[in-house]
Amino acid sequence: KRPAGAPDKSLARKISKVGIVGAGLMATQFATLFVRRLKVPVIMTDIDQDRVDRGVAGVHAELDKLAAKGRLDADNHNRLKALVTGTTDRSQFADCDWAIEAVFEEVKVKQDVFTDLEKIVSEDAILATNTSSLSVDEIASVLQRPERFVGFHFFNPVAVMPLIEVVNATKTDEETLATAMAVAKNLKKSAVITRDRPGFVVNRVLAKILGEAMHAVDTGTPIDVVDTALEPLGLPMTPFELLELVGLKVGAHVLESHHAPFPERFFESKNLDQLADAGAKLIERDGKGQKKGYTKEFKKIVGTEANT
């Protein structure tokens, strides 16, 4: 295993084509960033053509917004849009030297994606996972070339959040790590190298904040009281706004993936699980998306879990 610390920058590989598996909201956001910053072909794939089309259209719409804000000139705007394509045929990833996924947070699903990708891309290609709460080592355990595998964890909203966590799994080699750090730099993000531990660094802290906030509500503290009490901390969003931003399912998964290994340190919230499963919202918004208050469903849960 290479020594700890920053990898040798000179080992970073050049990326000339990016493959993205999963064309949902998160993937659309980082596909936009990859094409905008690396200016190389970006190919997206998903399980059906509809999802692929929506993903590509989503990237085009993001690029349109950047152009409308004057952040892309007309030449670049058209050139970048043409660089983004979609396919349901993963064999078109053969010449990608960097492929990253943002598919469902389930180990087996991700393992299947990467097992398949390894057969398609060249031996030197680097495979990256955007997982937020699964073990990168566990995903890598089925791979032929785990040394070419790394965690590359973006934050929501991708365009605005400055950080990427580069997860240095047990078998990740130095060239892969150096390339991931170089990619982050070229995306104009800051990056930290983290170990493969539940929540890496950021979600470990967030799981604490979000879990405690949910637990307070679950055990009888009114939602507004939690918000008002936390104001002096100067968080850019309340814990409940943040849960809604990342998606209740993702948020519930983050809590659960910390509670399972460390039940004494982290709370899970059955109420949050149920709200997530029901596709509920926490925040009531007006037609312009401005927050009006909290939804009835969310308010109903106050004090409904045993006070532990």
Interface residue with ligand 3HC, options 203, 238, 269, 271 (CB under 6 A): 203
Nearest residue to ligand 3HC by CB is 132
Total binding residues toward ligand 3HC, as defined by CB under 6 A: 15
Q: Does residue number 220 form part of the binding site for ligand 3HC (CB under 6 A)? A: no
Q: Does residue number 157 form part of the binding site for ligand 3HC (CB under 6 A)? A: yes
Q: Does residue number 238 form part of the binding site for ligand 3HC (CB under 6 A)? A: no
Residue 3 identity: P
Judged by CB under 6 A, the stretch of 119-127, 149-157, 184-192, 281-289 that binds ligand 3HC is: 149-157
For 153, the token pair is 């964890």
Q: Which of 14, 19, 9, 15 lies closest to 181, judged by CA?
A: 9
Write down the least CB distance from residue 203 to ligand 3HC, Å: 5
In the beta sheet, which residues pair with residue 128?
A: 100, 150
Write down the least CB distance from residue 199 to ligand 3HC, Å: 9
Q: Which of 50, 48, 49, 57 lies closest to 28, judged by CA?
A: 57
Interface residue with ligand 3HC, options 242, 273, 281, 295 (CB under 6 A): 242
- Residue 88 or 156 having the CB closest to ligand 3HC: 156
Judged by CB under 6 A, the stretch of 49-57, 84-92, 242-250, 280-288 that binds ligand 3HC is: 242-250
Please, which residues have CB within 8 angstroms of residue 46's CB and are 6 or more apart in sequence? 21, 22, 23, 24, 52, 55, 86, 88
In what helix (H) or strand (E) does residue 101 lie, and over which residues does it extend?
strand 98-101
Interface residue with ligand 3HC, options 32, 45, 129, 132 (CB under 6 A): 132
65-74 contacts, C-beta under 8 A, 24 or more apart: 66/32, 66/36, 72/36
- Residue 71 or 108 having the CB closest to ligand 3HC: 71
Pairing status of strand 291-294 against strand 283-285: antiparallel
Judged by CB under 6 A, the stretch of 91-99, 150-158, 213-221, 277-285 that binds ligand 3HC is: 150-158
Q: Does residue number 282 form part of the binding site for ligand 3HC (CB under 6 A)? A: no
Write down the least CB distance from residue 243 to ligand 3HC, Å: 9
Q: Does residue number 246 form part of the binding site for ligand 3HC (CB under 6 A)? A: yes
Q: Is 259 annotated as catalytic?
A: no
Residue with tokens 């814990």: 239
Please, which residues have CB within 8 angstroms of residue 185's CB and are 6 or more apart in sequence? 191
Q: Which of 87, 32, 82, 89 lies closest to 61, judged by CA?
A: 32
Judged by CB under 6 A, the stretch of 47-55, 98-106, 151-159, 179-187 that binds ligand 3HC is: 151-159
Q: Does residue number 72 form part of the binding site for ligand 3HC (CB under 6 A)? A: no
Judged by CB under 6 A, the stretch of 109-117, 157-165, 172-180, 220-228 that binds ligand 3HC is: 157-165
- SS3 readout for 154-195: CCCCCCCCCEEEEEECCCCCHHHHHHHHHHHHHCCCEEEEEE
Q: How far apart are CA 129 and CA 105, in angstroms?
A: 10
Is 5 buried (19+), middle (13-18) or exposed (0-12) by CB count in 10 A?
Answer: exposed
Interface residue with ligand 3HC, options 236, 279, 287, 289 (CB under 6 A): 236
- Catalytic positions, please? 153
Interface ranges with ligand 3HC (CB under 6 A): 132, 155-157, 159-161, 203, 206, 236-237, 242, 246, 250, 254
